Every structure is written in C-alpha cells, then in structure tokens.
Amino acid sequence: MSANDIRNLVERLVRDQGFELCGFAPAEPVGRAAYYREWLAAGRGGTMAYLGRNVDMRLNAAELFPGARTVIVCGLNYHQAPPPQPTDAALRGRVAMYAWGDDYHRVLKCKLFAVVDALREHLTVPFAARVCVDTAPLLEREYAMRAGVGWIGKNTLVLNETLGSYFFLGEIVTTLELPPDPPAVDHCGTCTRCLEACPTQAFPAAYQMDAARCISYLTIENRAPELPAELQPLMDDWIFGCDVCQQVCPFNRDATPTREPKFATRAPGAQPKLDDLLHWTDEDYRQESSGSAIKRAKPEMLRRNARIAAQNAQRSANSPG
C-alpha cells in the first residue's frame, strides 16, 4: 500500500468507529511553543502543575516515543438537546454537556484502539502507535488545528465549521508517515461573543485563557476546600464544568445531536439536585459517578460546588427585582 492508500484506509476505519472528523498532522513541534511556555510562567495554569511536566513532549509529538511520524486527530460529536426542565421546585446545579453521558476517555480510547487493531489486520508493514485521549502529554488542540480538524477559537476551544465545538478529540500517534492535511483556517472573524459572555472574565484577550478564573477549572481542577471569594458569586449554578462560551458561539447554533448512544444522559444527569449533592456520602459518590467523567471531581469538591451554587441561588432569590 502507498502512503495515500494507508491514509484512505485510516479515514475509513475512523469513520467506521463513529468519528465525524479525521485529520493528519506531522509529528513535529507545535507552532506556539513560546506562547505555551509564557502561559505557564505567568501562572495561567492555576494549580494544574502537571501542565508544566514533560513540556518538551507536550510541544513535540515526536518526543512521545522513538520514530513517531504522524498524529492522526479524530473528533467525536457529543452535542445533545437541552434536557427537559424539571417540574419540581428543587434547587439544581448544572453539569457541562460533555459529562452528561459515559466517561469520554473510555469511549474514545475503545474506539481508537479498535482503529489501531483493524489497521494492523490490514497492513503487512510493522508500525508502532500510541492512543491519546486528553490525559497524554500532548497539546491536542494545537495538533487538531495543524491537522485541519478545526481552528483554535477565541475561547481557546477547537472549532469546526460543521460541528461547532461540542466534540471530543482523540489522537493516534504513529510511526507511519502519512500525507498531512493543510492547517485549519480561523473563521472567528470579528466575533467576541465568547469573550464577553464569560461570567468570570477568564479571557484576558482573544485566544488566551486564564485557567485559574475559568469555571471549569474552579469546579473540576481546583481542589482547595474554598474557592476565591470574589469568583464564587460569578459561578452561578455550575457544579461541574461550564458551557457558557460554547452556548453563545454562532458555530454551535445549528449543532447536530450526537450519534453515540454512550453519551446519552445518565446519572447524576445534567441538572442534579443540590440537596442530594450536599448530602452525598462517599459511597453515594462512588455509585453515582461510576463510569462518568464527573468522577474527575472528588466528593468533597462536588459538595463544595453544590454549596456555592445553593448560596448563589439564595442570593439571587433575595436580590431586588
């Protein structure tokens, strides 16, 4: 098989696994290495110390293992229609859409390993491959842009003209040298809706994020018993993640529903009751979060987030008008 034939085969296998997007980038250093180092030095990563480890590897996929030549970037839609509005009067929190269903790490890894296994059945030439989903030391958004899957928007998320931004990224880094795609072109134009809508003003400028102010970071990555007092009132009822900058993005206006059944809403759901979360025992947490991405936040963090959401609801109810 020629390199083009193998590339066509990979695209077919990726589509067979349900991915809507597939692109190819050379395993070379990313173009914004200096920005990433400056971002870390400025403390924009908050307490996420792991982002400062294996920096050379994060900036160059070729460092992941000897002989790496190509990064195959895949995108899987997770968009769902808004859930029905509850009919009871219980106070509820909001969960970011990506965590409504089964843990995407497991879903994507299973699909990507299936692609690699099928590829080995079709090819006679030996090759090495590593599957990466979010937790690997790889700047996947940079490689997604380089592979033509989407451009990095002003809210620092990857945007695709067809899917918007409600899709997961997964990668196969391989020793196969395959023809690359042209990099994605930025289509944000003059729009600044995401920057203006952010409740905590986590974007100091377009295409830049101060993660320490982001509600997703505050609810999921910040493990302190108490969150900054000045940010708590701005978090509204978000108890795990935040979708505000995606909700206002024009490219998400006509987002199509996911075809992946494993992303269907499951416990604890899109709008869990705050009182339930506040009284979760560790055993409740284990049962309710098993198999869900919400397990990224520890039980004490979810209780903390629920308490803040309840206080915000009370504050809103007591405010004039």
Q: CB burial class (10 A; 0-12, 13-18, 19+) of residue 14?
A: buried
Cβ contacts of 276 within 8 Å, gap of 6 or more: 268
- Please identify every residue annotated as catalytic: 134
Q: How far is CA 196 from the centre of its chain?
A: 21
Q: State how far the Cα of 61 lies from the Cα of 67, in Å rounded to an integer.
A: 10
Q: State how far the Cα of 285 lies from the Cα of 131, in Å rounded to an integer.
A: 29
The CA dihedral of 64, 55, 158, 25, to the nearest 10 degrees, is -40
From 317, 163, 178, select the one nearest 255 (Cα to Cα): 163
Q: State how far the Cα of 62 lies from the Cα of 53, in Å rounded to an integer.
A: 16
What kind and span of H or E run contains 72? strand 70-77
